[in-house]
Amino acid sequence: MSSAKETQARAVEWLLERRDRGDWSVQDQERLDAWLAQSPSHLVAYWRAEDGWSRTELLSAFRTTMRPERGAQVAGISLRHALARITAVLAVVICGAAAAYYTLGMREQVYATGIGGKRSIVLADGSRIDLNTDTTVRARFGNGTRLVTVDKGEAYFQVKHDPGHPFVVTAAGDRIVDLGTKFIVRNNADRLEVSLLEGRARFEPEDGARGGAKVLVPGDVVIATPTSIATKRKTLKAVANELGWQRGVVVFDNTSLSDAVSELNRYNRKKLIVADSSVARMTIVGTFPVNDIALVLDAAKDVYGLHVRDDRDEAVISR
C-alpha cells in the first residue's frame, strides 16, 4: 500500500467512527484532533474523505422513494431506476455548508421567520424548535441522522434524546451534538452563541485551531467567532431570561443601552439609534415587549431624561 492510500484508509476509518458511534466522546474527538494536527497530509486526506463521503448522502434519498423489504433483495436494488426518479425531482446541489454537503432540496425542510416573527416547529421525532425573529434553519432527517443547520438568527431546541440517532445542530461550521438537551443557538454574523438550559450537549468546533470539543452543562454559554471560542458561566435565571422572546418580551438586567437597542432592533423594522457614547454606556433594567418601541422611547425620555427624535423609519436617542 502506498503512503497516500494508507493515510486515506486511516482518514476513512476516523470519519466513519465519528459518524457511526453514538458514544463518540470528548476524548475521541481529542484523539482525532491530534491525528489531524499531526500532519497536513492527514488533514487534507480527512477533508477529502469527508467531501467524498458527503456525496454518498444522496443515497439516503432513496429511503423515501424505495424501501427494500428483505435483506435478500438489497443487493438487487435497481439503482438505475431509483436514481432516475430522484434526478427527476432533484433541483439544487450546492457546495457551501461547512461540511460541503451536497444538499438535496427535496429532503431538506427550510423554516424561516421574518423580522418580528416567531414560529414553533415540532419535528417528526417529537423534538421541538422555536424560531425567534429573522431566523432561518434547515432540517435534514433520515439516514440515522438528525441534522439541523441554523443559517441565521436564533433558535431554541428541545431535543428528544435518542442515543442511536444523535441530534446535531450546525451553525457557522461548528457542531452542537445533543446529549439530552434544551439549548439556544444564536447565529449572528461572525458570532455564534450556544447557551445550555438543561441536560448535556457537546460543542465541537469545526477545526482544532480554536480549541477542542467540550461538553456543556446547564448555564454554560459558548461564544464562537471565526478566530476564537470562549465559554462563560451564567446563572440559569440569566439563561432563561434569554428566552423572554417566547413570551414576546426581552429582559434587560443592567444591560448597556447600546446592547439593549441592538437587541430590540432585531425585532423591529423601525430602528433605534443611540447617538452618543455616553448614552450608549447607560444601563437599563426591566422587561420590555419586543415590539413596543414607543414604550422604550417613553422610558428614555421620562426615566432617563434623554432626548428622542422619532421619525418614521428610525428613532434617535441622545442627550
Among 18, 28, 35, 43, binds another protein (CB under 8 A): 43
Residue 47 within binding range of another protein, rule CB under 8 A:
yes
Q: Is 13 in the site for another protein (CB under 8 A)?
A: yes
- Of 59, 115, 124, 285, the one binding another protein (CB under 8 A) is 59
Q: Is 3 in the site for another protein (CB under 8 A)?
A: yes
Using CB under 8 A as the binding rule, whether residue 40 contacts another protein is answered as: yes
37 binds another protein (CB under 8 A): no
**Residue 163 contacts another protein per CB under 8 A:** no
Q: Applying CB under 8 A, does 7 fall inside the site for another protein?
A: yes
Q: Is 91 in the site for another protein (CB under 8 A)?
A: yes
Comparing CB distances to another protein, the nearer of 56 and 246 is 56
- Site membership for another protein, residue 62 (CB under 8 A): yes
Name 47's Cβ contacts closer than 8 Å, sequence gap at least 6.
Answer: none
**Which of residues 77, 115, 122, 285 is near another protein by CB under 8 A?**
77
User: 221-235: b or e for each residue (b if 16 or more CB lie within 10 Å)?
Assistant: bbebeeeebeeeebe
Rounded to a whole number of angstroms, the distance between the first and last alpha carbons of the chain is: 74
Pick between residue 25 and residue 41 the one whose CB is nearest to another protein: 41
User: What is the spatial distance between Cα 248 and Cα 172, in angstroms, rounded to a whole number?
Assistant: 27
Only segment of 27-35, 75-83, 242-250, 300-308 that touches another protein (CB under 8 A): 75-83
- The strand pair at 214-216 and 220-224 is best described as unpaired
Q: Which of 32, 36, 45, 137 binds another protein (CB under 8 A)?
A: 45
> Segment contacting another protein (CB under 8 A): 40-48, 111-119, 152-160, 176-184?
40-48
CB of 216 to another protein, least distance (A): 21
The minimum distance between CB 12 and another protein, in angstroms, equals 5
Burial class from Cβ neighbours inside 10 Å (0-12, 13-18, 19+) for residue 134 reads: middle
Residue (93 or 285) nearer to another protein, CB: 93
319 in contact with another protein (CB under 8 A): no
- Helix 293-302 vs helix 257-265: angle between axes, to the nearest 10 degrees? 160
The C-alpha cell at 301 is 425620555
102 near another protein (CB under 8 A): yes
- Residues of this chain that interact with another protein (CB under 8 A) are 1-5, 7-9, 12-13, 15-16, 20, 40-41, 43-45, 47-53, 55-60, 62-63, 67-68, 71, 74-75, 77, 79-80, 83, 86-87, 90-96, 98, 100, 102, 142-144, 164, 172-173, 206-207, 209-210, 226-227
